[in-house]
Amino acid sequence: MTHHRPLKLFSGTSHPELAQEIATCLGIEVSESVSKHFASGEIYFKPMDTVRECDVFIVQTATSNVNEDMMELFVMLDAMKRSFASRIHVVMPHYAYSRQDRVASPREPITARLMADLISTAGATHLITLSLHSGQTQGFFSFPVDNVHTHRLFIDYFKKKKFKDLVVVSTDAGGAKAAKRLADPFGVEIAVINKMRPSHNVAAALSVVGDVKGKTCVVFDDMIDTGGSVVTAYEALRKEGANPDIYLAATHAVFSDPCVERLKKTGYKEVIVTNSIPLPKEKEFPGLKVLSVAPLISDVVRCVHEGKSVTGVWE
């Protein structure tokens, strides 16, 4: 992987397994670095080899330890900037604070914009991320953003199922466009759950817009956090007479408590997610399927490094 400048891939501590998978797909090694904490808790990072005039890619996703993840990323970016890296690309599969992208009620922050400002100030020149909660978040950045949709991973997976009478279901109106991306290759319609949120992490389904009676449903969302939306979606679909075999697919498996217990009790046939966030053993359960995003991300990294269009990867 050498072009007009050397490619170097570094990993933060949030998801080293994914960084290694991406490196393997690219046919390179993860670049050696030192990342540790001082006794005071402050973060230290240093690349062990020169990055001068290199094309640097830093893999760091947002986990349940999001604030530590982001502070480590800022330190890594500063180290690369001060070491004369030519370009510094942040590979953040799950974008931190993505849901705080607007002022929903008075005096709220727009933290997704704040994260964009901090990433830019720290030294990044490009962001690669997966399935942003809101596509407009790209406008918060003053540099290019590749928001790569993961629907092709789920399309490949579900094609093997050979469904009949399939309908793709969005958990709310905002996700209808993403649901349509998944539905169009199968030539099927979408349905939308009409829901409301009385408070944070609380969802209530009001009705189902679309024909789901007797059909196999795939509920599609960008993320599963506490599981409230997807549980109410399942209940609403069964109430409308959908086929009992209901599947749930989402890019980001946040799985905050009590999500796993909720999903175990709900009757989803399968729950299909990606490894954009590392899943510890205690959050695994029967029926959970994890698809790797490493081949998808490595394709984007290769195209960016070689100065090629990434449109083919998106499509």
Could you give the CA distance from residue 93 to residue 70 in angstroms, rounded to a whole number?
Answer: 13
CA distance between the termini of the chain: 23
DSSP string, 81-120: HHTT-SEEEEEESS-TTTT--S-SSTT---HHHHHHHHHH
Annotation marks residue 195 as catalytic: yes
| Distances, alpha carbon 117 to alpha carbons 5, 67, 107, 134, 142, in Å | 27, 15, 19, 17, 9
**Residue 78 vs residues 46, 73, 93, 143, 242: alpha-carbon distances, Å:** 10, 9, 20, 17, 52
| Separation between Cα atoms, residue 186 and residue 155, nearest integer Å | 8
The CA distance from 73 to 96, in Å, is 11
Asked if omega into 258 is within 30° of 0 (cis), the reply is yes
Strand order in the sheet with 87-92: 7-11, 55-59, 87-92, 126-130, 145-148
Strand locations in the chain, DSSP E? 7-11, 33-37, 43-47, 55-59, 87-92, 126-130, 145-148, 166-170, 190-199, 202-209, 216-224, 247-253, 270-274, 288-291
Find the catalytic residue in 195, 281, 283, 289: 195
- Give catalytic residue positions: 195
